Amino acid sequence: MDNIKMEGSAKTPTLDFNAETGVFEISGRSIPENSVEFYRPVLEWLDAYAKAPQAKTIANIKLEYFNTSSSKCILDVLKKFELIAKSGADIVVRWHYESDDEDMQEAGGDYKDIIQVPFELVEIDD
């Protein structure tokens, strides 16, 4: 299966999803013109990955900012990780946020409360 590696822009996050290592990263800003269209290939890729996941999967979310439409898509991505965990794979989501960014810390906490997977809030010193 092909990996997803896409450089971010001013409006879209960097994506680095590696099926061989089981390490996934979303970083940067997520304010695309059409969030559903932007995240559709990611969700489809995760469906394929879920059929044969690595024994250990690590998802690093390192977003600086995301808009309301992206928040639903991010939740959809996290729900895919939840399905992978339910299949018996070992998975952890690491939500990275800068120490002075209460909004991103709170967003991570909200997702942590919704998603039934090991979820770590990782504070980054800026």
DSSP structural state of residue 32? -
Nearest-5° Cα angle at 102, 97 to 104: 45
Block means of pLDDT (10 residues each) for the chain, 126 residues, are 95 97 97 96 96 95 96 97 91 96 96 96 89
| pLDDT value at residue 126 | 65
Task: Give the global pTM.
Answer: 0.94
Q: Which domains does the chain have, with CATH numbers?
A: 4-13+23-124 (3.30.750)
Contact (Cβ atoms closer than 8 angstroms) between residue 17 and residue 4: yes
